[in-house]
């Protein structure tokens, strides 16, 4: 999926009441607001308990929860205890041995074979959902289909309008909704098999089918709206990633150069080092006109996110033309002085963008040390002879130092601030 | 031509040069900036103090109405809703994070090195351990609700306009733009119209323009089945949300927010409105 749908991770497609979030009719009678909230809390609490019983009894926090857990357990029959432990044991053992796609499918098959009546299949599905990342099947639509396939066909289908209104088999529908929610969170499109399964299990007028319809309505709408698209699967090679990142932020005519072999001794330790640089012809022109009395700055690393991968890039830029005071006032005298300076040299006064100083080149490197960036400047000098005459100041952010130091500098680019702790 | 200027032409979104906006005076009525008491101040206002203030405000409102400043919005084709003009401009925003529900995201508002608004923070999707919350991780920047005399909510009338523009510089992450409207029923108080905002990242500024017709309705984080266009007469505030479910730091520089009329935007609402 395009990255836009990722936002739907937080902005969930509706599948319930505006007040209580739960599917309509989870409670047989529509409750008042406060009652609704209360019962909602209870239900979720019970579900949490349930899964925590399955997953880890050690993790239970607070004596109150433990007490309730014990109560819950005492209510359970010996049989359901067995099924509970069955689903837990199945997944726990499998994760210890070999956790891959095939094992996951095998587990689902085993569950069907152990008990033909499939008792405790809701618990099994919920446990499976929790364990999906361990088996690396979160992005696999077939895994979701196989989970939905566990539901018996035809039993939960509402046969008349009253059953539809009063939410036929609410627990089962809720679990199916959880499966679909997980699918939505992982930005996967359901396929025809999913549709067929949902129709067979729950019938046309059910919440899971409605949720399926919502996904099928909204996902394609937002699939291609990103004006800066990325490939479906990002490359794992850091060099390719850096190229992708630089191409995204640099000008279209810019040339990319990749250096992989370094002469200095430090490269012996790591063979995977690289330096990717980009410069457009326009930037080259600008750099050749840069007055020699004004220094250049190498700054970075600034953050660039490609989906969930964070890259750091460095820029070679001129200083800001106007040094605005932190209060935001442009100093008038300087203003006029600069304009006079430009008029004298028959140049256009700078636009607002240019006030920040212009970017002459960008690079990404595996190793953000000053030696490596020095090398970058040296490589740039081959194409830009004028650069050799310009003083270059290295203004590198140390990710380990506090952000206070960075705030004082004036220049362009976004600041990298550490979160308040 | 500078590299950064060149970049604007490459942006797929509709371009609006910032220079154009400069010539347009900030409209007086209904912009986000109004002369009102800031409610962040701690000291308690006396009864007579508040009466005097409110009556003064009301008189001002009457006078403005009589002078009919809206006459220029009839002919205006754009209006600046917000623009960075020094640290005072930051006071028009508030930051809300998932800390309100027990989450661990942090965000703060500051001034960037280029004297622009800087919205930075760290998104954390860890779910608070309260037994009921299932998902977490959002940081929101929102313009403050402005109040008129006697605590009436000030609504911004955006009906003459079709498109929302933002000038910003991001870090490659995706954000959301939200529009909040005043509404009558309690059930619709949480209605938010949103659209996605993709940032390019890199050192260059980005102009984003989004037609109002593309905003879709959601309520309490749920995209609604029954969609309707934004109630442009009753917009109360505009916001940005960072919630792309990726743990890590984010930063966004915001230069300005403005609205324009674009005659080519004939559609009222781009999503289907099925008769149910």
**Residue B15 counted as domain residue:** no
CB pairs under 8 A between A and B: 214
Pairwise CA distance, residues B99 & A213, whole Å:
33
**Residue B90 counted as domain residue:** yes
In A344-385, the DSSP E strands lie at: 359-365
**Residue range(s) defining the domain that contains residue B232:** 21-260
Q: Please report which helix (H) or strand (E) contains residue B166, including its range.
A: strand B163-169
Question: Where residue B112 sits, what CATH number does that domain have?
Answer: 2.60.120.430
A286: closest chain B residue by CA: B2
What angle do the packed helices A141-149 and A170-185 form, to 10 degrees? Answer: 170
**Residue B267 counted as domain residue:** no
Query: What pLDDT score was predicted for residue A64?
Result: 46
Hey, which residues does B67 pair with through a beta bridge?
A: none
Tokens of A243: 């190229």
Query: What pLDDT score was predicted for residue B212?
Result: 96
The Cα of A346 is separated from the nearest Cα of chain B by a number of Å equal to 14
What is the number of other CB atoms lying within 10 angstroms of the CB of residue B145? 15
What are the pLDDT digits (tens) for B142-163? 999 888 888 888 888 898 899 9
CB contacts, 8 Å: A306 with chain B: 172
Q: Is B113's CB within 8 Å of A418's CB?
A: no
Taking a C-beta distance cutoff of 8 angstroms, is the pair A290, A321 a contact?
A: no
Residue among B19, B122, B187 minimizing CB distance to A419: B122
pLDDT under 70 in chain A at which residues? Answer: 1-85, 263-271, 321-355, 398-421
CB contacts, 8 Å: A37 with chain B: none
Q: For residue A214, which of A6, A69, A13 has the smallest C-alpha distance? A: A13
Q: Is A18's CB within 8 Å of B219's CB?
A: yes
Residue among A307, A352, A410 minimizing CB distance to B113: A410
Query: What pLDDT score was predicted for residue A35?
Result: 37
Domain count, chain B: 1
**Residue B166 counted as domain residue:** yes
**Residue B5 counted as domain residue:** no
Q: For residue A419, which of B116, B139, B245, B108 has the smallest C-alpha distance? A: B108
Mean pLDDT of chain A: 74
Q: For residue A120, which of A78, A83, A73, A175 has the smallest C-alpha distance? A: A83
Q: For residue B27, which of B143, B161, B152 has the smallest C-alpha distance? A: B161
**Residue B7 counted as domain residue:** no
What are the pLDDT digits (tens) for B177-221? 999 999 889 888 889 999 999 999 988 899 999 999 999 999 888
Query: What pLDDT score was predicted for residue A53?
Result: 41
- List strands edge to edge, sheet with A309-318: A255-259, A275-279, A359-365, A309-318, A296-306, A392-396
Query: What pLDDT score was predicted for residue A27?
Result: 44
Q: What is the pLDDT along chain B (276 residues), one digit of tens a residue?
A: 333 333 333 332 333 333 233 223 333 334 444 445 555 556 788 899 999 999 999 998 898 888 876 666 666 788 899 998 888 889 899 999 999 989 999 999 998 877 789 999 999 999 998 888 888 999 999 999 888 888 888 888 898 899 999 999 999 999 999 999 998 898 888 899 999 999 999 888 999 999 999 999 998 888 998 899 999 999 999 999 999 999 999 999 999 999 999 999 889 999 998 776
Query: What pLDDT score was predicted for residue B249?
Result: 92
Residue of B83, B113, B168, B199 to mutate for A, most A C-beta atoms under 10 A: B113
Neighbour-count burial of B246, counting CB atoms closer than 10 A to its CB (0-12 exposed, 13-18 middle, 19+ buried): buried
Tokens of A276: 């990717």
For residue A197, whether the previous peptide bond is cis, meaning omega lies within 30 degrees of 0, is: no
What is the number of other CB atoms lying within 10 angstroms of the CB of residue A293? 7
**Which of helix, strand or coil describes residue A125?**
helix
- CB proximity under 8 Å: A 180-239 to B: 185, 214, 218, 221-222, 225-228
């Amino acid at each position: 999926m395009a990255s836009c749908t990722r936002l739907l991770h937080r902005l969930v497609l509706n599948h319930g009441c505006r007040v209580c979030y739960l599917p309509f009719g989870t409670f047989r009678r529509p409750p008042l607001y406060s009652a609704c909230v209360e019962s909602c809390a209870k239900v979720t609490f019970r579900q949490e308990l349930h899964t925590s019983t399955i997953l880890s009894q050690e993790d239970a926090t607070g004596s109150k929860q433990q007490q309730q857990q014990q109560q819950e357990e005492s209510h359970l029959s010996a049989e359901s205890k067995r099924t509970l432990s069955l689903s837990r044991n199945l997944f726990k053992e499998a994760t210890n041995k070999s956790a891959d796609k095939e094992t996951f499918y095998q587990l689902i098959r085993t569950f069907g074979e152990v008990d033909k009546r499939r008792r405790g299949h809701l618990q099994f599905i919920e446990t499976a959902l929790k364990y999906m990342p361990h088996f690396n099947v979160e992005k696999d639509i077939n895994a979701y289909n196989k989970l939905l396939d566990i539901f018996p066909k035809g039993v939960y289908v509402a046969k008349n309008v009253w059953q539809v209104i009063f939410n036929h088999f609410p627990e089962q529908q809720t679990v199916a909704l959880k499966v679909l929610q997980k699918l939505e969170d992982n930005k996967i499109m359901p396929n025809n098999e999913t549709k067929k399964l949902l129709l067979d299990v729950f019938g046309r007028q059910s919440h899971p089918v409605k949720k399926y319809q919502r996904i099928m309505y909204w996902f394609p709408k937002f699939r291609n709206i990103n004006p800066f698209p990325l490939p479906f699967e990002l490359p794992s090679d850091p060099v390719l990633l850096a190229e992708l990142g630089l191409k995204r932020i640099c000008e279209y005519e810019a040339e990319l150069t990749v250096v992989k072999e370094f002469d200095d001794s430090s490269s012996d330790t790591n063979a995977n080092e690289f330096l990717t640089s980009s410069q457009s012809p326009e930037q080259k022109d600008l750099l050749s006109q840069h007055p020699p009395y004004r220094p250049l700055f190498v700054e970075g690393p600034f953050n660039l996110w490609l989906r969930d991968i964070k890259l750091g890039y460095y820029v070679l830029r001129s200083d800001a033309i106007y040094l605005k005071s932190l209060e935001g006032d442009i100093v008038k005298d300087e203003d006029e002085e600069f304009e006079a300076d430009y008029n004298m040299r028959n140049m256009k006064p700078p636009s607002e963008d240019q006030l920040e100083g212009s970017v002459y080149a960008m690079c990404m490197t595996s190793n953000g040390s000053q030696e490596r960036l020095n090398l970058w400047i040296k490589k740039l000098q081959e194409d830009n002879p004028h650069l050799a005459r310009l003083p270059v100041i290295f203004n590198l952010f140390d990710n380990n130092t506090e952000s206070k130091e960075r705030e004082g500098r004036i220049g362009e680019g976004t600041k990298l601030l550490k979160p308040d702790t | 031509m500078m590299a950064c200027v060149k970049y604007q032409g490459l942006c797929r979104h509709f371009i609006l040069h910032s220079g154009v906006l400069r010539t347009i005076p900030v409209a007086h009525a209904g912009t986000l900036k109004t002369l009102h008491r800031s409610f962040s101040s701690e000291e308690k206002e006396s009864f007579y103090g508040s009466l005097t203030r409110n009556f003064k405000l009301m008189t001002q409102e009457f006078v403005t109405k009589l002078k009919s400043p809206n006459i220029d919005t009839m002919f205006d084709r754009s209006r600046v809703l917000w623009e960075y003009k020094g640290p005072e401009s930051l006071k028009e925003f508030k930051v809300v994070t998932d800390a309100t529900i027990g989450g661990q995201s942090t965000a703060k508002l500051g001034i960037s090195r280029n004297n622009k608004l800087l919205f930075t923070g760290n998104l954390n999707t860890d779910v608070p351990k309260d037994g009921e919350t299932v998902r977490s991780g959002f940081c929101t920047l929102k313009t403050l609700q402005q109040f008129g005399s006697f605590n009436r909510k000030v609504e911004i009338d955006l009906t003459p306009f079709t498109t929302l523009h933002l000038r910003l510089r991001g870090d490659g992450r995706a954000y959301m733009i939200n529009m909040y409207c005043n509404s009558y029923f309690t059930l619709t108080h949480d209605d938010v119209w949103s659209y996605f905002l993709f940032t390019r990242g890199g050192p260059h500024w980005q102009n984003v323009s989004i037609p109002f017709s593309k905003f879709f309705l959601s309520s309490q984080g749920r995209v609604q089945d029954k969609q309707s266009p934004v109630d442009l007469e009753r917009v109360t505030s505009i916001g940005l949300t960072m919630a792309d479910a990726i743990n890590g730091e984010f930063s966004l520089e915001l230069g300005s927010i403005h609205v324009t009329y674009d005659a080519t935007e004939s559609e009222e609402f781009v999503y289907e409105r099925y008769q149910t």
